[in-house]
Amino acid sequence: MSVPDKTDIPETDDRDRRIAELEAENERLRRIRDALIVRVESGSAHKPEPYAAFEHSVVLAEQVRERTEALNQAMEELKGSNKALSRAREEAETTRQRLSDAIESIADGFVLFDHRHCLIQSNSRFRSYWRQAGLAVPGPGTSIAEVKSQAVVSGLIAEEHSHPDSEGVVFLLSNGRWVQMTERPTREGGLVVLYSDITEVKNSEMARRIKALEESERWIRVVTDHVPALIAYVGADMTIHFCNKVYEAWYGRKGESPLGKRLDHVHSPELYQRLLPQILDVMDGHNVTFEFEETGEQGGVRYMLRSYVPNFDEQGDIIGFFVLIRDITDRRKTALALEQAYDNLERRVKERTAALTGLNNQLRQEITERAAVEARLRDAKLEAERANLSKTKFLAAVSHDLLQPLNAARLFTSALLEQSFGPKAEGLVRSVSTSLDDVENLLGTLVDISKLDAGVIKPDVTAFDLRDLLNNIAREFRQMAMAEGLRLDFVASSAIVKSDSQLLARILRNFLTNAIRYTGRGRILLGCRRGGDHVLLQVWDTGPGIPEDKLTEIFQEFKRIRPAGSQPDKGLGLGLAIVDKISRMLGHEVTVSSVEGRGSVFSVRVPIGRLQPRRPESDQNRTVSFDSGLGGARIWVIDNDRAICQGMKTLLEGWDCQVVTAVSLDDLERQLDPARSAVDLILADYHLDNDENGVDLVARINGRRRYPAPVVVITANYTNELKQHIRELGHLLMNKPVKPLKLRSALSHLLRS
């Protein structure tokens, strides 16, 4: 559809001016002709000489003829100009009508401004926004600044969101609809503004985020409902926001759930008064553990071991606390029975000792009884240790199912953070990401300590160069230190040590995490000292220091030394306990020295190692080169969890990758030919459905291909057997939950190698 150019208006003005000039010329010629005729007629009255009069009349006739021809030609030109002007006016009107029809047919709101940014034309969609709000529609001549000002002052615009990387500005209107405004300049300096309704897109995005959060909460509830302990979360208003089934069964009064009720309504007045001092203590920022005897709904008396852990927000304010209650009735009864047995035994020994001379046979019987009691004590202790080990193995075993939804939620939130939203939506996404980080850190720490206790983690000791390990850790924690206003200094080293690189890295990360957490200002130093047959890896800080009588206590579980006046943190007090367990497993000596008010230094002693010669790696033919980033990489994602597939697809496509997802080999074959289709890398989960695993599946795929594709195996299995098997196959292993930045770095390395 042609759009009339604004140059049509000057052309019309030129034609009108030309017509006016021609009409004036015609009028002047008429006056000349009439004057000549009058002169000729008047001249004959004086009766000049006949020849002179004749000659004069001939000249006048010739002039009249020339003037008449010129006049006729001008009239013809005038008629042609009038016809052209009529046609131009008809074409201009037709074009204007077509433009109006085209603008009206646009589904979006349309507004046209001239070069002075004054309103020229708008369609009914734009005018409907104002009429639905009961406001007067801006008319022609209104400036764009006045239109925006009227929309804000009148309340038509409820919220305004903009982002430098997004196209246009997004408005929330008073009727609850979302509109995106985009502006385009015209060739003459004017402006075309479109208002697109994106309400459905915004609602769809919000629904996906809510669904991901609900899925994470569902998995957390599944896990906690199967833990043999009472678990709950209480807000600062003393209202129960979360509880598992065991908690609900014990404190549910007359079949009513305690969820959403205040503690003083859930517990009896007597029990609540007994709990109140501990509640006040935890709301003051302290971890609290204590025992109470309680009477259940059915009248049964049980001994409960309670642990209260405060929950802090990003500003360090307490917003609630976690409740963990374990039934220790059997353990208490066993202890009472043992105490009673000891009392009886001691009494009988005294009685038999008094009659020792004549009662040797009875003494032998008492000795036998004592041995039997001791045997029962050993059996009871062994049973308690087995029960604790069973609990620990259970927590270690559920790590895969526990980390699956957290992994999916992290992928979704990482993909959302790379999208362009308004400040409010972006803040919500960052809050969700921060909450997931807190949940991941807390549950990851609990799972790690459980795996160490259960013996699930076995060290994989090899000789390796410290260079890459220290460089990666320094790069990772330098940003964390800068965010806290600290300076992290790092002294590189290329020493060869003999240890488990991942477990050693965990020790150093825990050292650095504690240093950043408790150092208010100053700097932190990461480095190492060589000494004979060992290397001493050290982390120095300028924090408040640790009292000398607390230097051994800090390595105990759930023990935290918080200096006076420092901000509370969200840790569980397990970081150094994990360090102690790992160092004992590896046989590395861990030491700490500190001066109050000046700082602390944590050290781990690692033996010197010797590298084995490496076998040369065969080059693989690559069909695609990646100069920068991951743009254009063709990646297959295989995972039996569709939420993981969708989250990974969203994240990778945000990195400009071409992604195909499948839950099995059959699903992949329905989408493409694995033997011939182009692929640059395969991401496979180790645990698949129907007793299949990702290692065997990618082996079947690469077995069909002329050139095998690089493989990244993702798993929550930390066993050395699996790690060694994947290493021998030449694949890269990543543990769940996957860190997006670490994944991108690994993919870039594989695709460029």
Cβ 513 vs Cβ 484: under 8 Å: no
Distance CA(409)–CA(405), nearest Å, equals 6
The predicted-structure confidence for 72-111, as pLDDT tens digits, reads as follows 787 787 777 778 777 877 777 777 777 777 777 777 888 8
The predicted-structure confidence for 492-501, as pLDDT tens digits, reads as follows 888 889 988 8
Cβ 716 vs Cβ 456: under 8 Å: no
Amino acid 699: pLDDT: 92
Q: Say if residue 546's pLDDT is above 70.
A: yes
- Which CATH superfamily includes the segment(s) 634-752? Response regulator (3.40.50.2300)
The pLDDT confidence band at residue 625, using thresholds 50, 70 and 90, is very low
Amino acid at 531: G
Distance CA(519)–CA(507), nearest Å, equals 18
Cβ 731 vs Cβ 713: under 8 Å: yes
Size of the chain, expressed as the number of residues it contains: 753
- Model pTM? 0.38
Structure tokens at 516: 């950043």
The predicted-structure confidence for 258-316, as pLDDT tens digits, reads as follows 888 898 888 888 888 988 999 999 999 899 998 878 877 666 778 888 899 999 988 88
Structure tokens at 667: 């699903």
Backbone dihedral angles phi then psi of residue 408, each to the nearest 5 degrees: -65, -45
CA–CA distance from 453 to each of 240, 259, 384, 580 (Å)? 31, 33, 15, 12
The architecture CATH gives domain 109-197: 2-Layer Sandwich (3.30)
Q: Say if residue 46's pLDDT is above 60.
A: no
Structure tokens at 370: 């004592």
Cβ 638 vs Cβ 685: under 8 Å: yes
Residue identified by tokens 């501990």 is 278
Distance CA(193)–CA(108), nearest Å, equals 10
The predicted-structure confidence for 438-489, as pLDDT tens digits, reads as follows 566 555 655 665 666 656 567 778 888 888 888 888 888 888 888 888 989 9
Distance CA(225)–CA(246), nearest Å, equals 7
Distance CA(652)–CA(748), nearest Å, equals 12
Distance CA(529)–CA(603), nearest Å, equals 10
Backbone dihedral angles phi then psi of residue 535, each to the nearest 5 degrees: -125, 135
Burial status of residue 84 (CB atoms within 10 A of its CB: 0-12, 13-18, 19 or more): exposed
Q: Say if residue 514's pLDDT is above 90.
A: no
The CATH number assigned to the domain with range 461-607 reads: 3.30.565.10
The pLDDT confidence band at residue 1, using thresholds 50, 70 and 90, is very low
Cβ 569 vs Cβ 513: under 8 Å: no
The tally of CA atoms less than 13 A away on the side-chain side of residue 332 is 12
Strand order in the sheet with 599-607: 487-490, 523-531, 534-541, 599-607, 589-595
Q: Mean per-residue pLDDT for 331-346?
A: 81
The predicted-structure confidence for 201-244, as pLDDT tens digits, reads as follows 878 877 787 777 767 767 777 767 777 788 889 999 999 888 88
Closest of 671, 747, 680 to residue 707, by C-alpha: 680
Query: What DSSP state is assigned to residue 384?
Result: H
Q: Is 407 helix (H, G, I), strand (E, B) or coil?
A: helix
395's enclosing H/E stretch is helix 360-397
Is the bond preceding residue 737 a cis peptide, omega within 30 degrees?
A: yes
352: left (phi over 0), alpha (psi -120 to 50) or beta: alpha
Q: Say if residue 400's pLDDT is above 60.
A: no
Cβ 741 vs Cβ 711: under 8 Å: no
Cβ 751 vs Cβ 680: under 8 Å: yes
Closest of 325, 327, 335, 318 to residue 281, by C-alpha: 318
Query: Which fold is adopted by the domain 228-327?
Result: Beta-Lactamase (3.30.450)
Amino acid 416: pLDDT: 67
Distance CA(662)–CA(668), nearest Å, equals 5
Cβ 127 vs Cβ 137: under 8 Å: yes
Amino acid 6: pLDDT: 43
Q: Percentage of the chain surpassing pLDDT 90?
A: 7
Q: Compute and round to an integer the Cα radius of gyration of the chain.
A: 44
DSSP states along 416-478? HHTS---HHHHHHHHHHHHHHHHHHHHHHHHHHHHHHHHT------EEEEHHHHHHHHHHHHH
Q: Say if residue 337's pLDDT is above 90.
A: no
The tally of CA atoms less than 13 A away on the side-chain side of residue 630 is 23
Distance CA(363)–CA(348), nearest Å, equals 9
Alpha helices in 107-198 (DSSP H): 124-132, 144-153
Highest mean pLDDT among 59-63, 195-199, 538-542: 538-542
| DSSP count for the chain of H helices, then E strands | 20, 23
Where does 314-399 show beta strands of DSSP type E? 318-327
Highest mean pLDDT among 280-289, 345-354, 394-403: 280-289
Residue identified by tokens 């020295």 is 593
Residue identified by tokens 């190692």 is 609
Q: Say if residue 624's pLDDT is above 60.
A: no
Distance CA(270)–CA(278), nearest Å, equals 14
Amino acid 621: pLDDT: 39
Q: Mean per-residue pLDDT for 423-438?
A: 63
Q: Say if residue 49's pLDDT is above 80.
A: no
Distance CA(179)–CA(251), nearest Å, equals 49
Backbone dihedral angles phi then psi of residue 652, each to the nearest 5 degrees: -70, -40
Amino acid 234: pLDDT: 92
Distance CA(201)–CA(220), nearest Å, equals 29
Burial status of residue 575 (CB atoms within 10 A of its CB: 0-12, 13-18, 19 or more): buried
Highest mean pLDDT among 128-142, 149-163, 168-182, 597-611: 597-611
End-to-end CA gap in the chain: 53
Query: What DSSP state is assigned to residue 298?
Result: T
Query: What DSSP state is assigned to residue 494?
Result: -
Query: What DSSP state is assigned to residue 45?
Result: T
